[in-house]
Structure 1
Amino acid sequence: MAENSRQQWLSPEMTPLPKPPGHVSGLFGIDRGLFLLPSRIAVDVTRRQAIGFISHAHMDHAAHHALALCTETTARLVRHRLGNVTTKVMPWGQPIEVAGHVLKALPAGHIFGSAMLYTEHQRGSVLYTGDFRLEESATAEPAELCQADYLIMECTFGHPRYRLPPRATVIEMLIEKVTQSISRGATPVISAYVLGKSQEVTKILTSAGIPVLQDPAVYEISQIYQEAGCDLGDFRLYSGRPVPGCAVIVPPRSVTAGGLPGALHVERFHVTGWAMDPRRQRTAPNDHWIPLSDHADFDQLLTAVEQVSPKAVFCTHGPKSFVEELRSRGHDARWLE
């Protein structure tokens, strides 16, 4: 451990998490982010690296690497957000060899083009999920899990309070409330992330016959979706004036208590898995809260572990209590840090 105290390489000889005892893969290491060994290919590391896998184009998973490994759609989105990034495209399900590693991209179901990373080594196989969702999506490719010796899993909603209602119920709720808002003569203004959630909500609403106006930042991303083959239906750029019968989609925090510029009567919507948390709802009790998520909920996380059937699970980006939940179910689970 000569480089620095923050660097922590996981190996059979060093088990940094001694409770409970168990096998550690030796296939990956932590240095302010996840790296494959021995090559040091970065995995969703947010600072520039020589080679980095980017699971999707949200900025908490991407960086301007010298060489970025990603899907074709993610490459388009990364170039839009970060500039001229050199990319090596990973076709779905097809192994590619990079720096001595055989790598495979599998759909993650999170947003359009999002990918899990699978790699095999003589010491065992690893599946890294990144952000993922097992439930159907209006815009993302359906998730494809596979068996692996070691599972590195994002577990944002790893608490039982985040058992989301069935997707069909949530979509029906969204469409019904937006339709009612329009019938009252209001402008339904939906707050959603610029990349991913905005496009999915757009597709859901336009498929139900509700045209959509989009904030310019959302609209730019939606054009890339269209060019990459994901048709979002009847949407247009919001020009500063609402159109009767249309919903408006904006980035989070774009709508203030005073409403939306150009609109007289606004009803605000928040479309997020965090809608399941009463504390979030209390921050804006008069708004509509729709629990539509692009992350796996608590039950989907448990399902993913069962389907992958790994020797050990490494959890990240969620409550540490989820590790204890997995251990109580007989899994060798660790917190990755």
Structure 2
Amino acid sequence: MDQPLLVFNEKGIYCQQADVYIDAWKPVDKCIITHGHADHSRWGHKKYITHKNNVPIIKHRLGEIVVSGKEWNESFTINGVKFSLHPAGHIVASSQVRVEYKGEVWVFTGDFKTENDGIAEPFELVKCNTFITECTFGIPAFKWTPQEEVFSDINNWWAANRAERKTSVLFGYSLGKAQRLLKHLDPNIGKIYTHGAIENMTQVLRENYEFHQTTRVTRDTKKDELLGNIVLAPPSAHGGTWIRKMVPFVTASASGWMTFRGARRRRAIDRGFVLSDHADWDGLLTTVKETGAEKVIATHGYTEIFSRYLREEMGLDARTEKTQYEEEGSETSNKEENDISPGLSDPQQTKINEDEK
């Protein structure tokens, strides 16, 4: 094939044969969306294609859009190119995109993780010739502890704070991380409260997923009601006026970046729990190997380090490509903290900002 099946241009990842983009970062006519995070599902496309469970998510965030929902492994053909969506395990309804044409198969992971978190559809390995992979945590320093141990630590932290009559404030992005935390919090310890942005998104997701009961924090919520209980909030709520009604409170953040002590210190967080919705170093390497891909393209993350390792240590044809996806929770990114997608019209921008209040 003279022309690569997928190319990177100024608008996104493009399949010329089908005239379709994947997770385009500028408005296009037709775009396949891997998941609902703002850097992958932008406003302004004429037509969206995504997994059916992601339809209510992106409609909630982007407003009235033209969108079609697909089942897992459902093939759909556009101008001779066969596409299908496969679970990425990153967050609920997150997909990998398989693209096949004339016997050649490419896979774009979007964001993914290999650990089954008990809520997102578990990651599915997809064999391919060329593998386009994220590498947000693509250095050996990142190796995740099994989530059962992490959630045991989180629930023990909450119980200890409850014994001291303090409110536990746990930060996590309003789509994905917050619901994962909610799924594994122990409601026998106390009551689970939510920031408005998290409550709004969780209500959207309850259509297809089950969660513990939650109570929205409002202007009428009294400080005494919160004592000993836990509040789930987006990172953007930290340091604002909203959190003052929690006093006395203890804060914690759940993120892969909590691997580094400096990240917790810079964010002025009392406690850090290492919990990521991305693959760690071992997960990335194992996945690359098991796809059987001869060519690998590394995007968003530690791309240079990761691709060099694939070339020098694994003998693969690996290179990097620049994208406009952001590393979740990085020190230079506020990716999902405000849930704002570049290019939103004023009414939509206002709607999303309202969710964060």
Letter in 2 for 1:281: R
Q: For residues 232-251 of structure 1, what are the structure 2 equivalents within 5 Å?
A: 232-239=211-218, 240-241=221-222, 242-251=225-234
Q: Is the 8 A contact 1:54 1:69 kept in 2?
A: yes
Query: How far off is 1:132 after superposition?
Result: 0.4
Q: Secondary structure at the match of 2:174?
A: coil
Q: 8 Å contact 1:205–1:211 — kept in the other structure?
A: no
Contact 1:206–1:212 (CA under 8 A) maintained in structure 2: no
Higher relative contact order (CA 8 A, sep 6+): 2
TM-score, with length taken from structure 2: 0.84
Q: What RMSD, in angstroms, separates the aligned Cα atoms of the two structures?
A: 1.8
Shift of 1:238: 1.3
Paired with 2:106 and 2:2, the residues of 1 have a C-alpha distance of 15
The percentage of aligned residue pairs carrying the same residue is 26
Residue 183 of structure 1 aligns with an amino acid whose one-letter code is A
Where does 1:130-279 land on structure 2 (aligned, <5 Å)?
130-206=110-186, 210-228=190-208, 230-239=209-218, 240-241=221-222, 242-256=225-239, 260-279=243-262
Question: How do residues 1-337 of structure 1 correspond to structure 2 at under 5 angstroms?
Answer: 12=2, 26-32=4-10, 33-64=12-43, 65-122=45-102, 124-206=104-186, 210-228=190-208, 230-239=209-218, 240-241=221-222, 242-256=225-239, 260-284=243-267, 287-319=270-302, 320-327=304-311, 328-337=313-322
CA distance 1:209–1:233, change in 2 (3 Å): farther
How big is the shift at 1:168? 1.9
Answer whether contact 1:198 1:249 (CA < 8 A) is retained. Answer: yes
Instruction: Write the distance in 2 (CA, Å) between the matches of 1:60 and 1:259.
Output: 26
Kept after mapping to 1: 8 A contact 2:106/2:130: yes
Gaps of 5+ in 2: 323-357
Match of 1:321, as an amino acid?
I
Instruction: Count how many residue pairs are aligned between Structure 1 and Structure 2.
Output: 314
CA separation of 1:301 and 1:235: change in aligned 2, threshold 3 A: same
Q: Per the alignment, in what secondary structure is the counterpart of residue 55 of structure 2?
A: helix
- Deviations along 1:248-269, one digit per CA (max 9) or x if unpaired, are 0111131218882322211001
Residues 192, 271 of structure 1: 8 Å contact kept? yes
In 1, the alpha carbon distance for the partners of 2:130 and 2:266 equals 39
Residues 149 and 173 (structure 1 numbering): CA distance in 2 closer, same or farther, change over 3 Å? same
Q: In the alignment, is the contact (CA less than 8 A) between 1:174 and 1:290 conserved in 2?
A: yes
Q: CA-to-partner distance for each residue in 1:61-96, whole Å, 9 max, x for gaps?
A: 012321101011211111100011111211111111
Structure 1 regions of 5+ residues with no counterpart? 1-10, 14-25
Determine the structure 2 residue equivalent to 1:20: none
Higher share in helix: 2
The 3-state SS of whatever aligns with 2:141 is helix
Segment drifting more, 283-292 vs 140-149: 283-292
In 2 relative to 1, CA 245–266 (structure 1 residues): closer, same or farther, beyond 3 Å? closer
Q: Secondary structure at the match of 1:261?
A: helix
4+ aligned runs moved over 6 Å, structure 1: none
**Residue identity opposite 1:60 in structure 2:** D
- String of CA shifts for 1:137-167, please: whole Å, max 9, x gaps: 1320101011101100011000111112222
Distance 2:19 2:188 in 1: 47
Report the counterpart of residue 8 of structure 1 in structure 2. none
